[in-house]
Copies of this chain bind each other. A is one copy, B any other.
């Protein structure tokens, strides 16, 4: 392959998605001297519109600086191409003589690669390189971007727990995650002792009940004087509706272009504030959203995550030479290994957090859950035990 490789980044940015992009770009230089590497701006949109950055001649040192920088340096997109859009993308790829297209992203992105593969007739190798802080890709033990996001989340809840030891009260933080609870569950990775928060975890995989929530908080306050809560933006009630839908008047709900409910705007947080004020009047309570910080905070970029993301990019070039597919991070004998898997196994699918990661009540990590997070996100800071 000495023609053109196209690389793009899709979906929500992460702390290490640039590692994957640079890993791929540098691997092309190594394996295919003379080949051209084009970075498409704003995901497939750049291919459609002919908007590229030529990465071929950019000095390695400059690329490595970009690799260490969070968020998608090429820009990203939430576009989910339909057949007509895919046609434009295929034409765009042919126009630049692309032999391979490496698209870095989550399940939507792998879905796009599946559609393009089906439509192209085999002249171009389509590769999906994994990326998501949701950690919800099938075939993967974990996904590039998740470890850094989990590290931020673990650090944020350690911080909040220490804060509320000093000034007791109730703290609720809403964590990204529409369908999978991995990131929310990572909030418990750095608990310093049995007393530590988060004391309650609510994930999309378990039905949420507002009454049980207030009872849970009451019981925790009785025991610990404080209550730290981690809740996924995507929690749903018994009837399968998003919690935000059950709490917020319909006319105040927002939806995106795909009709997806906007989950973690201020409305959900405010609904929690009101529920706590009514259910536990007079108690100091604070509700925040971790927001976008887990997916790129500069002070929580994990080195292992960086290395794995870089290697996933390099491996994607190998998969391109092998006809295309999806790159998966699997664990064998305790080590992360990269495997090529069929796109169809990953495309558009959601991997949920295993049911046995939580205890029976569904509000605490089980031993299995704890083992998973301790392996992926070992505590990074030496923390002394407060006197209160």
Contacts and interface: CB of A to CB of B under 8 A. Distances in A.
B156 A71 contact: no
A269 B18 CA distance: 31
17 contacts: A9-B166, A39-B387, A41-B388, A65-B382, A67-B384, A68-B381, A69-B162, A71-B163, A71-B166, A73-B384, A73-B386, A73-B388, A156-B293, A159-B296, A159-B297, A288-B288, A293-B293
A241 B130 CA distance: 50
B386 A162 contact: no
Interface string A174-203: 000000000000000000000000000000
A300 interface: yes
A355 B74 CA distance: 39
Contact of A71 (B73, B288, B289, B386): B386
Copies in the complex: 2
Given A66-B384, A72-B386, A151-B299, 7 more contacts: A13-B166, A70-B159, A76-B167, A78-B167, A155-B299, A159-B293, A298-B383
B296 A299 contact: no
B265 A267 contact: no
Nearest to A292: B163
A266 interface: yes
Nearest to A55: B387
Contacts of A41: 387-388
A53 interface: yes
A353 B66 CA distance: 35
Given A42-B388, A384-B69, A165 B75 contact: yes
Q: Which of A42, A287, A387 gathers most chain B CB within 10 Å? A: A387
B287 A265 contact: yes
A13 to B, nearest CB: 5
A71 B270 contact: no
Interface residues of A, number: 67
Nearest to A388: B75
Contacts of A160: 292
A238 interface: no
Contact of A163 (B39, B42, B296): B296
A106 interface: no
A291 interface: yes
A277 to B, nearest CB: 8
Contact of A266 (B67, B254, B269, B380): B269
B159 A298 contact: yes
A73 B254 CA distance: 42
A239 interface: no
Residue in A13, A77, A167, A385 whose Cβ sees the most chain B Cβ within 10 Å? A167
A152 B299 contact: yes
Contacts of A289: 288-289
A295 interface: yes
A144 to B, nearest CB: 16
A298 B66 contact: no
A24 interface: no
